[in-house]
Amino acid sequence: MIGIVLTGHGSFPSGMMESVELITGKVKQIEVVPFEEDKDKLESEINQAIENVNTDSGVVCFADLAGGTPFNVCSTIAATRDNIRVVGGTNSPMLLSGMFQRELVIDKFVESVLKEGKDNIKQFEMKQKQASSEEDGI
């Protein structure tokens, strides 16, 4: 099973985690690493978190912002190790869909969660076309 590290500024990862578990129930093999101020501490904690959740299937680090410190620290680690991947711009649909695909090959997993994350950014739209065509029929 793919291990997951969820990281980001402040309460982002803990809030996201609690929210996801309200929907899915308790999630296994996942670690939450908040970034407050200390980059060295963050690096040490992310390394430890990766160790904690890593099995043969690898680890995906979900960060709040591509280019932010948590994303960059994960990327520095991923650059020198096999089977570590890093995604940024994490939202709930990405994480939720990922929870049910953790037996995939890691690159297929990443491809899928990126797509789910993007496809599920949407706005509420009233079915105005339908409404107007119904009016036409009256």
Which of 15, 104, 37 has its CA nearest to residue 6?
Answer: 15
Stretch that binds a second copy, among 38-46, 47-55, 66-74 (CB under 8 A): 66-74
Which of 64, 81, 69 has its CA nearest to residue 40?
Answer: 69
Q: How far apart are CA 132 and CA 124, in angstroms?
A: 18
Task: Give the other-Cβ count within 10 Å of 91's Cβ.
Answer: 16
Taking CB under 8 A as the criterion, the residue among 43, 53, 59, 71 binding a second copy is 71
H/E stretch holding 61 reads: strand 59-63
Q: Does 92 bind a second copy (CB under 8 A)?
A: yes
Q: Does 105 bind a second copy (CB under 8 A)?
A: no
Taking CB under 8 A as the criterion, the residue among 8, 31, 98, 102 binding a second copy is 8
Taking CB under 8 A as the criterion, the residue among 123, 129, 135, 138 binding a second copy is 123
Q: Does 93 bind a second copy (CB under 8 A)?
A: yes
Q: Could you tell me the CA-to-CA distances from 61 to 71, 80, 101 in Å, in that order?
A: 8, 15, 15
Stretch that binds a second copy, among 38-46, 47-55, 77-85 (CB under 8 A): 77-85
Q: What residues line the site for a second copy (CB under 8 A)?
A: 8-16, 18-23, 64-66, 68, 71, 74-75, 78-79, 85-94, 96, 110, 114, 117-118, 120-124, 126
